[in-house]
Amino acid sequence: MTNLTMPSVLAFDRKLEPSDALMYSGTWDSIHTENLWQAIELFERRNRAVKSNFKQEVLEDEVELQKQTAESNLSWGDDAALDHKHDTLKLSFTLRVVNGLNKPSVCNSTDFEKTYSKKVEDYTQLNIGQLANRYAYNIANGRFLWRNRICAQELKVVVNHSSLSEPLTFNAYDYPLRNTTADDKKLAMLAEIIKSGFVNDKAVLLKIDAYARLGNGQRVWPSQEMTLNTPKGEKSRHLFHLKVNGKDIAAMHCEKIGNALRTIDDWYPKFQETQTPIAIEAYGSVTQRGIAYRSTRNDFKSLLLTWLNAEDENGIEEDSKHFVVAMLIRGGVFGESEC
C-alpha cells in the first residue's frame, strides 16, 4: 500500500450552512404569534466613561496618573436593545444540511481521493448519527445565542422542518452547555433529520427560532464588526445589521452561529481538565483563551493521514474519527501547496 500524503490541492465544502440570524423584540406570551414581533434596529450610544487602562510607566508616575484619570474616556458606538414594552429576544435563522462527505470538493490526487472516499463512506454509514446528535444538541441548548443566553429568565428553541407535523420545541436550560449529547426523544427526532441531510441527496433545511426572556428594555448583543485603525474621535464600535424592508435589523454573523453549532469537541486531550467542549478546529484553537488544544500528533491533518494509511479498518480511535469527520463537515482548504 502506497503511503499517502496530503495532496497539494485539497478542499472540502461546508456541510452545515447557517444563514445570518435576525433579531426581533417581543413578549414571552407572544412566542406563537408571528406578527407581534418587531425588528430590533441599531442606535448609537455616546458616553463619557472613566479611563481604567494605563501603561506601566503612567502607573509609576503619580502626577501623570492623576492627570490621565481626570480625563474623560469618550465612547461612541452602535448599540441594540429590546423595546421597553418587551421582555423577550427572538433570534431567527435557517440551517441547511448538505450531503457529499465522501467526496472532496477539490483534490488533485486520485489515490488519496479513492482511499478517502471508501473510509469516509464507511464511517458515514455507521457513525454519522453520533455527530448529528451533537449538532442537534447545540440547537436545542441555544448555544448560538452566545451572550444573549446568559442569565435569561427563560430560554426556548423552536425548530421547523417540512417532515414535522408540528415544530420541535426545546427548553434550552434542559441541555447544559458543558455536555454535548443527551438521551431525549425530541433531540433524537432532530438528529435523525440532520442525519438525513448528510446521507441523502436532498438537502435538509431547518428554520430555527430562539427566544430568550431577558427583561423589559434589556440590551441585546448582535455580532460586532471588525474595525481596524479607527481614528481617534470616530465611532469605534460597529454592530452587524442587515437591511430588510428598508430597515437595518440587528443581526448575528452566520460564522458565529456556525461556531456555536460545531462546539462539539470533547475528544481533545485536556477535556478532563477543562470540562468544556470546544469548537471543531484543525488544531483545537480557542482564540478567546489563546490556546490550541490539539498538538501536531492529534490535529486534523495528522489524524486524517494516519486513518487513511492504516491497513486495517481502524487506524485511529473512534473519537479521533468523529473529530476528523466533524472537520470535514466544517470544511476548509487543507492542501499542502508549495506556494
Domain for residue 286, yes or no?
no
- Which pLDDT belongs to residue 337? 64
Domain for residue 136, yes or no?
yes
Mean pLDDT for 195-202 is 93
List, for residues 206-254, the tens digit of each pLDDT value.
999 999 999 999 999 999 987 776 666 567 788 999 999 888 899 999 9
Mean pLDDT lowest among 47-51, 217-221, 275-279: 47-51
- Which pLDDT belongs to residue 209? 98
- Which pLDDT belongs to residue 87? 97
Q: Which domain holds residue 233?
A: 16-64+78-264
Give the β-pairing of 38-39 and 168-171. unpaired
Residue with cell 473519537: 319
pLDDT at 314 over 80: no
Residue 174: phi and psi, rounded to 5, are -75, -5
- Which pLDDT belongs to residue 339? 40
Domain for residue 180, yes or no?
yes
DSSP 211: E
Question: What is the average pLDDT score of the chain?
Answer: 91
Confidence of residue 43 (pLDDT cuts 50, 70, 90): confident
CA atoms in the 13 A half-sphere facing the CB of 202: 6
CA atoms in the 13 A half-sphere facing the CB of 41: 9
- Stronger pLDDT, 49 or 329, i.e. the higher one: 329
Instruction: Report how many domains make up the chain.
Output: 1
Domain for residue 338, yes or no?
no
pTM above 0.85, yes or no: yes
Mean pLDDT for 293-313 is 90
Confidence of residue 336 (pLDDT cuts 50, 70, 90): confident
Mean pLDDT for 261-277 is 95
List, for residues 10-40, the tens digit of each pLDDT value.
999 999 999 999 999 999 999 989 889 999 9
Domain for residue 51, yes or no?
yes
Residues ≥6 apart with Cβ < 8 Å to 50: 69, 72, 73
List, for residues 143-186, the tens digit of each pLDDT value.
999 999 998 999 999 999 999 999 999 999 999 999 999 999 99
CA atoms in the 13 A half-sphere facing the CB of 110: 0
List, for residues 83-134, the tens digit of each pLDDT value.
999 999 999 999 999 999 999 999 999 999 999 999 999 999 999 999 999 9
- Which pLDDT belongs to residue 86? 98
Give the β-pairing of 247-252 and 21-26. antiparallel
Domain for residue 334, yes or no?
no
Domain for residue 320, yes or no?
no
pLDDT at 50 over 70: no
Task: State whether residue 187 is helix, strand or coil.
Answer: helix
Domain for residue 283, yes or no?
no
- Which pLDDT belongs to residue 54? 66
